[in-house]
Amino acid sequence: MARWEPGARERLVVAAVDLFTEQGYDATTVTQIAERAGVTKSTFFRHFPDKRELLVAGQETLSRLLADGIAAAPAGASPLEAVSAGLERACDAMGPANRELGPRLRAAVAASTELQERDALKSVGLAAAMATALLARGVPESTAHLAGEVGVMAFKRGYSSWVDADPELAGALWGRVSSAFEELRAASASLG
Burial label, 144 (beta-carbon count in 10 A; 0-12, 13-18, 19+): buried
pLDDT in tens, 98-154: 888 888 888 888 888 888 998 899 999 999 999 999 999 999 999 999 999 999 999
pLDDT attached to residue 43: 92
Whether domain 8-54 has CATH 1.10.10.60: the reply is yes
CA distance 28 to 51: 9
Question: What is the residue extent of each domain of the chain?
Answer: 8-54, 58-189
- The answer to whether 85 touches 70, Cβ cutoff 8 Å, is yes
Give the homologous superfamily in CATH for domain 58-189. Tetracycline Repressor, domain 2 (1.10.357.10)
Question: Length of the chain, please?
Answer: 192
Q: What is the pTM of this model?
A: 0.85
